[in-house]
């Protein structure tokens, strides 16, 4: 993965940019001189966040591919092609498997996983054409650790990790980098809403974790991208899980790359 020393003028689009980790990621890029655009569903908080950040904005629901695509097109027309897509939109609706509405499983998968897929699919052709671009995906410690009450949320974050692993082999040969970050509980409005409905078991597990600030997560994400890191973990427990989870990938990577390269040459 290529290192980055200068973000000045580069167009960075952040989904979920009106608050929480998304707003903090947008702020970290803005402080480095990037041209930042933010996307979220609610217009008033989005507009206020954009004003605070000095960013452009367009309202869209990431679960609506057509709506999201129109917003990205509008932002690229005003600010140039997207050099970085940071997929930070998402939510957690905790609850025991049989005690939550069935629709909430679809809601979380649509927002957390498919929202990232829609955003990446929209900007990726341009990145491949220019032979450069960066993708930031936000997973979670819940991608590795089974936590009661997260039967709807945990699988969506595991799917983000797997999306990054698969996508990397497709796009890295074409100059596009993929980074995934795995924050534990982060002090955001989303966490506050989540805590209201957590079952007692979920509270017992997550209550032992001191939430980190969204700014710390954002700074780690941007620094990690600058240093060419594929995976970013901030706390010791997640680093431990990540090291073991990456072992099979590390062992298989040379074989996979040789096999893929051979198949591409033969095609």
User: What is the DSSP secondary structure assignment for residue 210, as one 8-state letter?
Assistant: P
Q: Annotated catalytic residue: which of 150, 157, 182, 198?
A: 157
Could you tell me whether strands 176-182 and 186-187 are parallel, antiparallel, or unpaired per DSSP bridges? unpaired
CA 117 to chain centroid: 10
**Residue 50: what pLDDT?**
97
- Averaged pLDDT for residues 222-226: 95
**Residue 6: what pLDDT?**
86
Alpha-carbon dihedral sign for residues 42, 43, 48, 52: positive
Please check the confidence at residue 242 and state whether its pLDDT lies above 90.
no
Nearest partner of 225 among 149, 136, 122, judged by Cα: 136
**Residue 87: what pLDDT?**
98
* 3 Rama class: left (phi>0) / alpha (psi -120 to 50) / beta: beta
**Residue 252: what pLDDT?**
66
Are 29 and 67 in contact, with CB atoms under 8 Å apart? Answer: no
Q: Which two tokens stand for residue 121?
A: 């699919």
User: In the annotation, is 10 catalytic?
Assistant: no
CA 48 – CA 139 distance, rounded (Å): 26
CA 166 to chain centroid: 15
Q: Which helix (H) or strand (E) holds 174?
A: none
Residue 181: strand pairing partners: 138, 232
Which tens digit of pLDDT belongs to each residue from 86-128?
A: 999 999 999 999 999 999 999 999 999 999 999 999 999 999 9
Q: Annotated catalytic residue: which of 10, 18, 134, 139?
A: 139
Which tens digit of pLDDT belongs to each residue from 159-193?
A: 999 999 999 999 999 999 999 999 988 999 898 99
CATH number of the domain to which 230 belongs:
3.40.50.720
- Averaged pLDDT for residues 51-63: 97
In total, how many domains does the chain have? 1
Task: Work out the pLDDT band at 154, boundaries 50, 70, 90.
Answer: very high
Q: Which two tokens stand for residue 142?
A: 């819940």
The distance in angstroms from the start CA to the end CA of the chain is 25
Nearest partner of 66 among 109, 12, 119, judged by Cα: 119
Is residue 1 in some structural domain? no
Please check the confidence at residue 249 and state whether its pLDDT lies above 80.
no
Are 243 and 233 in contact, with CB atoms under 8 Å apart? Answer: no
Is residue 6 in some structural domain? no
Q: Could you count the other beta carbons within 10 Å of the beta carbon of residue 42?
A: 13
Q: Which domain holds residue 238?
A: 11-266
pTM metric for this prediction: 0.92
User: In the annotation, is 150 catalytic?
Assistant: no
User: In the annotation, is 157 catalytic?
Assistant: yes
Is residue 29 in some structural domain? yes
Please check the confidence at residue 5 and state whether its pLDDT lies above 70.
no
Is residue 3 in some structural domain? no
- Averaged pLDDT for residues 232-247: 86
Is residue 98 in some structural domain? yes
Q: Annotated catalytic residue: which of 37, 153, 159, 182?
A: 153
CA 171 to chain centroid: 17
Give percent of the chain with pLDDT exceeding 70. 97
């Amino acid at each position: 993965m290529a290192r980055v020393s200068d973000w000045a003028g580069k167009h960075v689009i952040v989904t979920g940019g009106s608050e929480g980790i998304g707003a903090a990621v947008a702020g970290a890029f803005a402080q480095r001189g990037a041209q930042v655009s933010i996307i979220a569903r609610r217009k008033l908080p989005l507009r206020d966040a954009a004003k605070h950040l000095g960013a452009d904005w367009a309202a869209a629901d990431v679960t609506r591919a057509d709506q999201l695509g129109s917003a990205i097109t509008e932002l690229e027309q005003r600010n140039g092609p997207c050099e970085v897509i940071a997929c930070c939109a998402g939510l957690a609706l905790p609850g025991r498997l049989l005690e939550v509405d069935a629709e909430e499983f679809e809601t979380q998968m649509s927002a957390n996983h498919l929202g990232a897929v829609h955003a990446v699919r929209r900007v990726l052709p341009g990145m491949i054409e220019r032979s450069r671009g960066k993708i930031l995906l936000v997973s979670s410690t819940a991608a590795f650790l089974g936590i009661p009450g997260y039967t709807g949320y945990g699988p969506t974050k595991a799917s983000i990790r797997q999306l990054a692993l698969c996508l990397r082999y497709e796009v890295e040969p074409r100059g596009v980098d993929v980074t995934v970050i795995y924050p534990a509980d982060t002090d955001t409005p989303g966490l506050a809403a989540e805590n209201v409905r957590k079952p007692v078991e979920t509270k017992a597990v997550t209550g032992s974790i001191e939430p980190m600030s969204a700014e710390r997560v954002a700074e780690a994400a941007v620094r990690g991208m600058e240093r060419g890191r594929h995976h970013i973990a901030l706390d010791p427990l997640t680093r431990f899980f990540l090291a073991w989870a990456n072992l099979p990938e590390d062992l298989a990577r040379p074989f996979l790359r040789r096999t893929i390269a051979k198949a591409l040459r033969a095609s």
